């Protein structure tokens, strides 16, 4: 396992900080022991987190690569937040005996953990200076989105409608010989950002709601479903 810079991994720094404060204040460890211990924990944590990341992919087209790397970092950050939510939900929902709801939240979080690897696979289709997205591929994605629009309702239908409109614009670009890859990456970036917003709502609700209430449980379930809806949108774009 390669060494990694803890400063690039906030969770690793947090773990080291918790050890340092806890060791000094609660464990009465001398600073000469606590400080190196915290550094070791932060470095080891960073190495573990780095090992869980997919190998970094660089695209030949610099402009496309810049957009791709930003989306990749978004996916990694969302995955880390989903991991935190998973741990918090496990504790809170187990304590309140909401096991079925816990399964719903965990499923959404687990799907999010897959996103960085899926983004890395997307690079294979984006590689090359002249690798335009094909109209056929975009039309296939559009058909999937339009089918979802017809078979869904409420927020989910609105999400799929937005994606369908974006795909229509990208098809128009491709039909006129323009590179639709940046537009497609922009769509992906927007979906990940919106997923992050729903994830935050889900976390806030977990922390503040009466988890024994059926109303709160229904609200959490709706947010989880909305979160999964964004993930399905992402799957269409990177499939």
Tell me the pLDDT tens digit for each residue of 73-113.
888 888 888 888 888 888 888 887 888 888 888 888 888 88
Per-residue confidence band for 122, with pLDDT thresholds at 50, 70 and 90: confident
228-238: average pLDDT = 84
- The answer, yes or no, to whether residue 133 has pLDDT greater than 50, is yes
- Tell me if 1 is assigned to some domain: no
With beta carbons less than 8 A apart as the criterion, state whether 87 and 142 touch: no
159-171: average pLDDT = 85
> Based on the domain organization, do 36 and 86 belong to the same domain?
no
> Based on the domain organization, do 44 and 103 belong to the same domain?
no
d(CA 43, CA 3): 7
> Based on the domain organization, do 151 and 219 belong to the same domain?
yes
- The answer, yes or no, to whether residue 57 has pLDDT greater than 70, is no
* Number of domains composing the chain: 2
What pLDDT is stored for residue 35 in this prediction?
76
What pLDDT is stored for residue 131 in this prediction?
47
> Based on the domain organization, do 199 and 86 belong to the same domain?
yes
> Based on the domain organization, do 147 and 223 belong to the same domain?
yes
> Based on the domain organization, do 32 and 90 belong to the same domain?
no
d(CA 195, CA 56): 23
**Segments forming the whole domain that contains residue 145:** 62-238
What pLDDT is stored for residue 130 in this prediction?
45
- Tell me if 120 is assigned to some domain: yes
State pLDDT tens for residues 24-41: 677 777 766 677 877 787
């Amino acid at each position: 396992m390669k060494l990694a810079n803890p400063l690039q991994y906030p969770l690793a720094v947090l773990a080291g900080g918790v050890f340092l404060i806890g060791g000094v204040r609660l464990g009465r460890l001398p600073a000469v022991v606590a400080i190196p211990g915290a550094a070791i924990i932060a470095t080891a944590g960073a190495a573990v987190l780095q090992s869980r990341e997919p190998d970094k992919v660089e695209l030949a087209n610099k402009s496309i690569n810049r957009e791709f790397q930003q989306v990749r970092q978004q996916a990694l950050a969302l995955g880390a937040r989903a991991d935190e939510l998973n741990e918090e939900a496990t504790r809170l929902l187990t304590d309140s005996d909401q096991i079925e709801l816990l399964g719903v939240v965990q499923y959404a979080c687990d799907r999010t953990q897959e996103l960085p690897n899926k983004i890395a696979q997307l690079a294979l289709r984006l590689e090359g200076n002249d690798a335009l997205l094909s109209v056929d591929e975009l039309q296939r994605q559009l058909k999937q989105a339009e089918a979802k629009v017809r078979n869904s309702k409420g927020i989910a239908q609105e999400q799929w409608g937005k994606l369908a409109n974006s795909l229509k614009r990208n098809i128009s670009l491709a039909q006129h010989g323009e590179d639709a890859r940046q537009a497609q990456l922009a769509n992906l970036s927007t979906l990940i950002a919106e997923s992050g917003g729903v994830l935050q709502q889900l976390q806030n609700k977990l922390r503040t709601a009466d988890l024994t209430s059926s109303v709160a449980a229904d609200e959490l379930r709706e947010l989880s479903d909305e979160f999964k809806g964004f993930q399905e949108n992402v799957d269409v774009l990177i499939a």
